[in-house]
Amino acid sequence: MNPLTKVKLINELNEREARLGVKETVSWHSVYKDSAWIFIGGFPYELTEGDIICVFSQYGEIVNINLVRDKKTGKSKGFCFICYEDQRSTILAVDNFNGIKIKGRTIRVDHVKDYRPPKDTDDIDDVTKMLRDEGCAPALPAPSSSSGSEEEEEQYVVPVKKTKKDKKDKKKKKKKKERKEKKRALKEEAAEEAAEGREAGAGRSSAPPPLPRAAAAIKQEKHDARYDEHVHRRAAEGGDGGRDRTKGQGPGGERAADGEAARDGDRGRSREEERERRREHHGHNGGGRSRERERDRERERDRERERDRDEDRRRDRPGKRRERSRSRTR
């Protein structure tokens, strides 16, 4: 099969798995989970082991490489095998490097299930033999005393600046702490005020009750002798005048006299109702306004007296006119 066809098939398989969201346990890469070797083919002939390691070490540490060369000339044949330290690096290399171009040539990268190292160890040079035997991974430092290693690490420690995110988190924590302290202080103040209020209430309950307020003194109305005399006289005159009026006027005059009496009764009732309302209103307001109430009452009395006098005068006028007319006729 053409190498380029294999490259296309691997890419199509990777795209289909990515589109369907296939898990790693059922992926086609899981078949090669026991091998850390991959095959690389189709790269330019002038590339060396170092060049290949520089390119493919992006996805993991390379521990061994086998660049196939011609036995007679020693030139590269354009393909090689490399071994990663971690098997998962092979999956990344196959998915990302298969089908890329290096110096205008498309390379093919695929898994190797059973890698068998070459047996021509007698014809190869010392460098290639050492790479095949020991690999190309960096050598680990020899174990030394713990105290010496800790001192060396402290010497080479680089101070790391705190990021903006860490500073923001620190500020947020500080603000939260301040809010909690404020809430706690407010709660303590409220509890102290409540305790003081209880103590004050207990002191008030133990203190003697306040004395009852003295009832507001209501000023009684003054007795007016003149007003009584006027009322009696008006009643006497009203009886005689009314009889004369009724006699002279006939049935129509009696009706008019009855209407006037009814009006007088209605006016008296309305005045009494107004007085009661005012008394109730002043009683609700309390004794602080006793002077104002007394003044209002006196004013009302004066008005009522003036009204009564005006009405008496109006009623007396027609009787006087009639007497004058009679005297003239005589």
- 108-117, 229-238, 239-248: least confident range: 239-248
More confident residue, 316 or 141: 316
More confident residue, 152 or 294: 294
**Rg value, the chain, Cα:** 63
How confident is the prediction for the chain on average, in pLDDT? 76
Residue 329: is its pLDDT beyond 60? yes
**pLDDT band per the 50, 70, 90 thresholds, residue 248:** very low
Residue 178: is its pLDDT beyond 70? yes
**pLDDT band per the 50, 70, 90 thresholds, residue 294:** confident
Q: Are 312 and 234 in contact (CB under 8 A)?
A: yes
- Distance CA(260)–CA(238), nearest Å, equals 12
Residue 247, pLDDT score: 45
Residue 158, pLDDT score: 54
**Closest-CA residue to 40 (of 57, 24, 27):** 57
- Distance CA(142)–CA(156), nearest Å, equals 18
- Distance CA(309)–CA(299), nearest Å, equals 15
> Mean pLDDT across the stretch 282-286?
56
Report the percentage of the chain scoring pLDDT > 70.
63
Residue pLDDT, tens place only, 144-174 = 545 555 665 555 555 555 566 777 888 888 8
Residue pLDDT, tens place only, 7-32 = 889 889 888 888 888 888 888 888 99
Residue 198: is its pLDDT beyond 90? no
Residue 45: is its pLDDT beyond 80? yes
**pLDDT band per the 50, 70, 90 thresholds, residue 108:** very high
Residue 296: is its pLDDT beyond 60? yes
Residue pLDDT, tens place only, 98-107 = 999 999 999 9
Residue 38, pLDDT score: 93
More confident residue, 80 or 292: 80
- Distance CA(221)–CA(23), nearest Å, equals 110
Residue 92: is its pLDDT beyond 60? yes
Report the percentage of the chain scoring pLDDT > 90.
18
Q: Are 65 and 83 in contact (CB under 8 A)?
A: yes
More confident residue, 206 or 235: 235
Q: Are 59 and 92 in contact (CB under 8 A)?
A: yes
Residue 250, pLDDT score: 47
- Residue 68 vs residues 63, 118, 137: alpha-carbon distances, Å: 17, 10, 19
Sign of the CA dihedral 267, 271, 272, 274? positive
Angle between helix axes 290-329 and 251-285 (nearest 10 degrees) is 170
Residue 323, pLDDT score: 66
Residue 56: is its pLDDT beyond 50? yes
Residue 240: is its pLDDT beyond 80? no
More confident residue, 268 or 251: 268
pTM higher than the cut 0.75: no
Read off the DSSP letter of residue 144: -
Strand segments, DSSP code E, in the chain are: 37-41, 62-69, 76-84, 101-102, 105-106, 108-111
Residue 44: is its pLDDT beyond 50? yes
> Mean pLDDT across the stretch 27-50?
91
More confident residue, 230 or 43: 43
Residue 213, pLDDT score: 58
Residue 77, pLDDT score: 92
